[in-house]
Structure 1
Amino acid sequence: MRVADSIGKLRSWRAQINPKWKVGLVPTMGALHAGHVSLVEAARKECDCVVTSIFVNPKQFGPHEDFHKYPRTLSADVELLGNKVDLVFAPEVSDMYPNEPMVTALVNGMEKTSEGASRPGHFSGVATVVAKLLNIVQPHTAFFGQKDAHQCIVIRNLIRDMNFPVQLEIVPTMREADGLAMSSRNRYLSPEQRKLAPILYQALLTAKNLVEKEQVYSRGPLVDSALRVLEQPGVTVDYISLASLEDGREIDLITNKHPLLLSGAIKIGTTRLIDNLIAQPL
């Protein structure tokens, strides 16, 4: 396994890869855990060559978010990846953004609801850096985790709308034994906060069961059922969302049997947690 710390080194390495090989890309921001490893393992099964990028992208953080606090653990990440990948791409911010970009990706629609409304500019920053990574690495397939479901919707539409010759593979969310979705931000939680953290999963599961077992198809009762679970000291609710898996738009009434995205974000202390589940109407 090699580490490339610049675009130039990555491209030199990429030029030497057998053109018949299938190349997989696993984009990450580092602080890797078992969830990231599951993405790498999925890529390894499908691809001849696997690249994992480690880059904390400043363009997807708002001015009052945790960009400077976000854990940077490159040495530990490289050790964890070991021989699971062929190359780690870990560029500096100055290499990815040598100047303030004149052209960035604009995400329509999703910037105004749920995760987009809570984090203005976030999806534009995600789409911009993913477009750059796809151009730089030139993978055949890119692997992302279902935990960041809204991000997956953005990237699926980015690939389609910008005609990237790339397949997108969405890998199921990895969870702790108590249901908490694995996340690099979980390390911010104190022991007491960690005990409380699975409550978001429990809230979304309550709403999912209403859809799938009791055929409750109206947004109001579904959101209210999740909010009742979240009525606990120490929990601040950001949003609970019922949305289309295709374009992330909010849904007021379920009128077909297409799978839906139930998602939410909460804060426990200063730590922001997100999660989602897919609900299948009967």
Structure 2
Amino acid sequence: MKGFDMELLTSIDQAKQCVRAWKAQGCSIALVPTMGFLHDGHASLIQAARKICDKVVVSVFVNPTQFAPGEDFDAYPRDMQADSALCERLGVDAIFHPQADEMYVNQRAYCVVEQLTSSMEGAARPIHFRGVCTVVCKLFHIIAPDVAFFGEKDAQQLAIIKRMVRDLNFDIRIVGMPIVRESDGLAKSSRNTYLSPEGRRAACVLYRAICKGKSLIAAGMPADDLYAAMKAVCAEEPLCSLEYICLVDADTMQEIPIVAGNVVCCMAARIQNVRLIDNFWWSEHANA
């Protein structure tokens, strides 16, 4: 964007001063929280934010508190130069890129406790959502956005953040945006870069299972039968190690036996020891 000056904010004080100045001008603020290594999925959030609000802030912060020991915090892909170029191209007004010691004076001193985490990602990664909720809560206080944008690929995270906003009385509208996929159906993810060419081809089995599930769920297939059909698809790929398939209520994230109301069918699998998640959303009204 010619003549456009994007700000790089590395401290909390810088971010607060920047946002205060915008709000004094009557600007509305959008926040797109990310861990960086931005791809087309993030771009879709930024573009949606750009349409709704006067100013757009993208946070780029690989949050250490949502990674358990032995997870991929150190290996998580980072490319701040590419992230900055994409944000500038899309008209982002500021990137908030703090270091961990700026965000966490003492990591053990405080946390936001989450409630919708007894299954799926919460069971697989027990500390994950505590870290997610804590850092998002801090970002909300620092940036004070009017609207915040999250991807629907992380369905359980989206439901938890919506619940946190309601329970902690944040005056912030949460917008969930649809999954962005590669041409072969694989959901966009920074972790896709971990896959070898063979693993990348194998990972498409998740989308095949998703398509199978979509084709069966309209008939009101019971969850157990739906799981069996999707598991059979995954079993056709030797490199796929399925962790779970779960049909849940879109708001409560509680597992349900049949399709009723708004539901999400979530799944997680490992391909070459790379952990990938995917899902599809289903509404009786939208698909009637």
Using structure 1 for the length normalisation, give the TM-score.
0.95
Question: Are the equivalent residues in 2 in contact too, given 1:51–1:87 (CA < 8 A)?
Answer: yes
CA–CA distance in 1 between the matches of 2:96 and 2:131? 19
Matched, 1:85 2:92: yes
Question: Are the equivalent residues in 1 in contact too, given 2:242–2:270 (CA < 8 A)?
Answer: yes
Q: 2:111 aligns with which of 90, 104, 110?
A: 104
Q: 1:263 aligns with which of 256, 261, 266?
A: 266
CA–CA distance in 1 between the matches of 2:107 and 2:198? 41
CA–CA distance in 2 between the matches of 1:55 and 1:8? 16
Question: Are the equivalent residues in 2 in contact too, given 1:111–1:121 (CA < 8 A)?
Answer: no
Deviations 1:33-69 (A, max 9, x none): 1111110000000000000000000111111210110
Matched, 1:237 2:245: no
- Displacement after TM superposition at 1:138 (Å): 0.3
CA–CA distance in 2 between the matches of 1:178 and 1:272? 19
Deviations 1:119-174 (A, max 9, x none): 11111111111000000000000001111111100110010010000000111111
Question: Are the equivalent residues in 2 in contact too, given 1:204–1:263 (CA < 8 A)?
Answer: no
Deviations 1:171-197 (A, max 9, x none): 111111111000001111111111111
Q: Find the counterpart in structure 2 of residue 69 from structure 1.
A: 75
Matched, 1:43 2:49: yes
CA–CA distance in 2 between the matches of 1:260 and 1:131? 26
CA–CA distance in 2 between the matches of 1:56 and 1:230? 31
Letter matched to residue 13 of structure 2: G
Matched, 1:181 2:187: yes
SS of equivalent to 1:98: coil
Letter matched to residue 262 of structure 1: C
Question: Are the equivalent residues in 1 in contact too, given 2:65–2:107 (CA < 8 A)?
Answer: no
Matched, 1:274 2:280: no
Task: List alignment gaps of at least 5 residues for structure 1.
Answer: none
- Which moved further from structure 2: 188-197 or 42-51? 188-197
- Displacement after TM superposition at 1:25 (Å): 0.2
Matched, 1:121 2:124: no
Q: 1:221 aligns with which of 206, 210, 225?
A: 225
Q: Find the counterpart in structure 2 of residue 132 from structure 1.
A: 138
Deviations 1:59-89 (A, max 9, x none): 1111121011001111111011114200000
- Displacement after TM superposition at 1:239 (Å): 0.8
Q: Find the counterpart in structure 1 of residue 9 from structure 2.
A: 4
Using structure 2 for the length normalisation, give the TM-score.
0.93
Question: Are the equivalent residues in 2 in contact too, given 1:262–1:276 (CA < 8 A)?
Answer: yes
Question: Are the equivalent residues in 2 in contact too, given 1:265–1:274 (CA < 8 A)?
Answer: yes
Letter matched to residue 144 of structure 1: F
CA–CA distance in 1 between the matches of 2:107 and 2:32? 25
CA–CA distance in 2 between the matches of 1:241 and 1:18? 42
CA–CA distance in 2 between the matches of 1:18 and 1:123? 31
- Displacement after TM superposition at 1:30 (Å): 0.2
- Displacement after TM superposition at 1:11 (Å): 1.2
Q: Find the counterpart in structure 2 of residue 201 from structure 1.
A: 207
Question: Are the equivalent residues in 2 in contact too, given 1:208–1:262 (CA < 8 A)?
Answer: no
SS of equivalent to 2:22: coil
Letter matched to residue 69 of structure 1: A
Aligned-residue identity in percent: 41
RMSD of aligned residue pairs (Cα, Å):
1.2
